[in-house]
Each structure stands twice: as C-alpha cells, then as structure tokens.
Amino acid sequence: MKLFVEPASHPLSGTIAIPGDKSIGHRALLFSLLSATPVRVLGLGDGADNGRSARAVTQLGGAIARDGAALVIRGSGLDAMRPPAAGIDCGNSGTTIRLLCGLVAGQRFATTLFGDESLSRRPMQRVIEPLAAMGAVITGSPAGEAARDVVPPLTIGPATGPLTAIDYTLPMASAQVKSAILLAGLYADGVTAVTEPGPTRDHSERMLAYLGAPLTTAGRRVAIDTRGWNRRLAGDGFEVPGDPSSAAFLIAAALLAGAREVRLPGICVNPTRTGFLDAIAAMGGSVEHAAPRDAGPEPVADLVVRGPAPGLRATEIAGDLAVRAIDELPVLAVIAARAHGTTTVRDAGELRVKESDRIATTCAMLRAFGVSCEPRPDGFVVEGRPDRPLAAARVASDGDHRIAMAAAIAGLVADGPSQIDDADNVATSYPGFAAALRQLGGAIRDAAG
Ligand code: S3P
C-alpha cells in the first residue's frame, strides 16, 4: 500500500475516536487468559498487533466472543492453560512475543513463538536472560555471526516445577521485559522483583494489580510476592482508552497545519505515556486536556488542539523524557523539523531495536524531506526548517508503521505532493490512520501497490 499526501491548505478540524491503546490492548487480552472469571474488554483497537495477542489467547485455551461493543474473554485461570497445537505467530508484535515469553515460561508444556521478518531480527536475549535465571528453558536462534543476541523463533518450556523468584535490575528501559518477568513471577515461589532504569509504561503493574495480583511498586522497583497467595486473578472488565501513540500523529498534524479544533476524546494520559505531550509543551505547542477521568486503572482525558500553527522552538529530549516518549520520537522529529533551532534527542538508544532502526529510519525520512537530521548512537539531531515548507518527497517506511505515519505528517507541510511507499505496516497499530486524517481535512489517500 502507498500513501499519497498533499500539503494542507486549511486548518484541520473535527473529532476523531482514536482506537484503543495497543499496549493496554495486549495486556487486556493476555492477562484475561489468566483470569478465573470472564473479562469484558471494551474499546480494543483494531490493529494487527493486538490481533496477534488475541489469537495467542485462543491458541493457549482462552475463548473470545463478541458481546455488542465488548469482547468477552473466558480465560483458563493461572494453571489450566492449554498447550498450543502449533507455534504462535506473533507477526510484527514485539509486545506479543515478549509478554508471551513470561506468560508461558512457567507452563508444563513447550511453546514456540515466531514472527515476521522485522520481529525475526529483534533482540530476545533481554527477555531470555532473566527468565532463564528464573529456571525457564528458552532457546532461540543466533542473531548472526557477529551478534551475541538471540532472535525468534523461540521455544519455551516445558517447566518442570515452579520458577525461581529473582531480584532483577533491567539493563535497559523496557516495559516488555519488565512485564515478562512479572508474569513469570506469578509462577515463581517467593518475591520476584524488577528494578528499571527509567519510567517505562506501567500498564502491566496497574492491570495485574486490578486483577488481584500480589503486586507492589516502590519507586522504580516492582515486586510480585506469591507467598500465601491464593493464585486467583479475576476482574469484571477493562476499558481500553485511546492510544496516545496513535493520537500523537493527529496532534502533530493539527499543530503543524493549524486547527480550528481537533478533538480526540478518551486518550490514555498515564504519566508514563505523556512524554510526547511534555515535549510539545516545551516546544511551545499547546494541547488542552479536557474532561479528565479514570478508565479502570488508567487515567484518560480528551485532548484538544486549537488555533493556528504556533511558532515552535527546538528542545532537548533526554533522560526520563526520552523513555516516556520513546514511540513518539519519529513524529516528534517531524515537529522538530518545523521548529526554530536545533532539537537534540539523547538517551534513546532503544530506538535502534524497534520495528526498524528508528534512529536510521527517522533520519533517512527527514532527509528525504530536505531536513538535516544527524544520527547519534543514542538519538539524533534535527535542524528546524520553520521558514519554508519541507521538500515534497517520496519515501519508504522500511516496514515500520510509525515511520510511515510520521512521513505522512511531514507531507502535510511540504511544498508539493509526497508519496510514502511500503505503508501496509500502518495496519499494525492504526488501520484507520489515513481515513482519520482525511476526516480532519487532510488530503491523504491510500492506494494498493
Ligand atoms: C511496549 C513497550 C515499549 C514500546 C512498545 C510497546 C509495551 O517497548 O516501544 O511499542 O507495550 O510494553 P520496550 O519494552 O521494548 O521498551
């Protein structure tokens, strides 16, 4: 699929229902498998990645039925998961494969996990190492002669007894690895603890606690203590709020093109996910938070952008802020391309091991639009070009949904029509992206090929 984008000729306007948060959706599905009671999930997104987790749940013995707007998931409980008849295809989804590693590490059967070409290049040693320290048996494939890492396919288990509790300090800020260890900790005797170097998304902590897991958090340390626990998780349901990472593209569009009013109701504003909004505020962009409320364990708000494109200024994104904005850094780079001055992103080496090497692909994409973007080992440096439009471009996304969508936003402020090739991957997180941008008044269309 290709995306064709024209420069925006007027301010954007409208209300868009952003699909359910991808990270929360994965967890709603996978954690419901562990529930002793049926769980109603409202607002699950329609992205292919969440679909992979849904299929994994059914392969492991869960049943998923539609009931009006909700999905009802009948899980197996903690100890009656079924051995999958075949390997589980995790597609493009790093969260599916890494969370599943933790979920099946303590099972008495073996599970094979594999994925698409991009997932088959992604590092798994980070999850294998702590799970192996807990006694899990995991084998993967060597990542290539020079690399010391391990990539999918992975085979996990069978476990011969309870796992061993560990006290683990994560070498990198990764919510997926943290979550895998916590899930395995449900199958360990004693206190399994994870300390993280930065504030990664804490949906697993919130949602497992909501289901009654024996979980406590103290600063950067999360612990599961199974001593004396009745091994029962249960809950009525989850409401999956709008995905701030998908909303980020439309917010960027509204800020760069100007907006009469762009309103995105019910977006997750969990502080571990709002680095993007904080970076925008530091750049002089304004996003109003209206109607704040709670959706189960997650805080949500309506996000509203109004007014002409502001005069944005460059900023520095580093440390905890880089962790809290990690998935939004490609689109923040596009915003930086329209800001006065030089924006620096540091402490974001994790970008190298996302769906693509996002330091390389973000810089290549911006350069195609005539913007100077210098890669650094742990980030990049963008020279803003606020005084004249970007140069219209034809770009490839390198199979990465967030690069494709960021490029489409750049196309809105270019000096002519732009084309994004190889954009099928948008469906992994936000199949309705082009339609939503069109609904706001953006001239974007998709075409096969
Ligand atoms: C995710 C965690 C992050 C993020 C990814 C989703 C999650 O990855 O980039 O898109 O749902 O836990 P890491 O855990 O690799 O940091």
Does 43 fall in a domain? yes
Does 363 fall in a domain? yes
| Residue where the block lists tokens 């998709």 | 446
Does 127 fall in a domain? yes
**Pair 13, 29 in one domain:** no
The whole-angstrom separation of Cα 42 and Cα 29 is 11
Is 327 one of the annotated active-site residues of the chain?
A: yes
End-to-end C-alpha distance for the chain, whole angstroms = 5
Beta carbons of 400 and 377 less than 8 angstroms apart? no
Structure tokens given for 196: 């993280």
**Pair 208, 328 in one domain:** no
**Pair 170, 267 in one domain:** no
The whole-angstrom separation of Cα 357 and Cα 284 is 29
The whole-angstrom separation of Cα 249 and Cα 262 is 12
From the CB of 174, is ligand 1 less than 6 Å away? yes
Does 71 fall in a domain? yes
Measuring from atom 10 of ligand 1, which residue has the nearest CA?
327
| Region for 441 from its dihedrals, namely left if φ exceeds 0, alpha if ψ lies in -120 to 50, beta otherwise | left
From the CB of 243, is ligand 1 less than 6 Å away? no
Number of domains in the chain: 2
From the CB of 350, is ligand 1 less than 6 Å away? yes
Q: What is the pTM for the complete model shown?
A: 0.98
From the CB of 429, is ligand 1 less than 6 Å away? no
From the CB of 361, is ligand 1 less than 6 Å away? no
**Pair 12, 33 in one domain:** no
Measuring from atom 13 of ligand 1, which residue has the nearest CA?
174
| Region for 219 from its dihedrals, namely left if φ exceeds 0, alpha if ψ lies in -120 to 50, beta otherwise | left
**Pair 259, 282 in one domain:** yes
Domain boundary among 201, 225, 249: 225
pLDDT for residue 157: 94
Ligand 1 pocket mutation pick from 176, 177, 357 by most atoms within 8 angstroms of CB: 176
**Pair 61, 182 in one domain:** yes
| Residue where the block lists tokens 């540091």 | 346
Nearest to 285 by CA among 321, 309, 250: 309
The whole-angstrom separation of Cα 322 and Cα 172 is 13
**Pair 11, 116 in one domain:** no
Burial of 405 (0-12, 13-18, 19+ CB in 10 A): buried
What amino acid occupies position 424?
D
Structure tokens given for 398: 């390198």
Nearest to 215 by CA among 198, 242, 192: 192
Using the mean position of ligand 1's atoms as its centre, give its distance from the Cα of residue 176 in Å.
Answer: 5
**Pair 248, 206 in one domain:** no
Walk along the chain (449 residues) and give the pLDDT tens digit of each residue: 999 999 999 999 999 999 999 999 999 999 999 999 999 999 999 999 999 999 999 999 999 999 999 999 999 999 999 999 999 999 999 999 999 999 999 999 999 999 999 999 999 999 999 999 999 999 998 887 666 799 999 999 999 999 999 999 999 999 999 999 999 999 999 999 999 999 999 999 999 999 999 999 999 999 999 999 999 999 989 999 999 999 999 999 999 999 999 999 999 999 999 999 999 999 999 999 999 999 999 999 999 999 999 999 999 999 999 999 999 999 999 999 999 999 999 999 999 999 999 999 999 999 999 999 999 999 999 999 999 999 999 999 999 999 999 999 999 999 999 999 999 999 999 999 999 999 999 999 998 87
Nearest to 249 by CA among 387, 373, 21, 403: 403
**Structural domain boundaries enclosing 96:** 22-141+152-158+165-225
pLDDT for residue 245: 98
**Pair 28, 16 in one domain:** no
**Pair 218, 129 in one domain:** yes
Does 235 fall in a domain? no
pLDDT for residue 145: 62
From the CB of 327, is ligand 1 less than 6 Å away? yes
Ligand 1 pocket mutation pick from 31, 92, 95 by most atoms within 8 angstroms of CB: 95
**Pair 26, 87 in one domain:** yes
Instruction: Label residues 84-101 b or e (16+ Cβ within 10 Å = b).
Output: beeebbbbbbbbbbbbbb
Does 230 fall in a domain? no
> CATH code at 100?
3.65.10.10
The whole-angstrom separation of Cα 215 and Cα 390 is 49
Does 215 fall in a domain? yes
Q: DSSP secondary structure string, 58-101?
A: HHTT-EEEEETTEEEEE---TT-PPPPSS-EE-TT-HHHHHHHH
From the CB of 418, is ligand 1 less than 6 Å away? no
Using the mean position of ligand 1's atoms as its centre, give its distance from the Cα of residue 449 in Å.
Answer: 30
Does 231 fall in a domain? no
Among 327, 347, 398, 446, the active-site one is 327
Strands 221-225 and 163-164: unpaired
**Pair 198, 247 in one domain:** no
Domain boundary among 197, 225, 253: 225
pLDDT for residue 45: 97
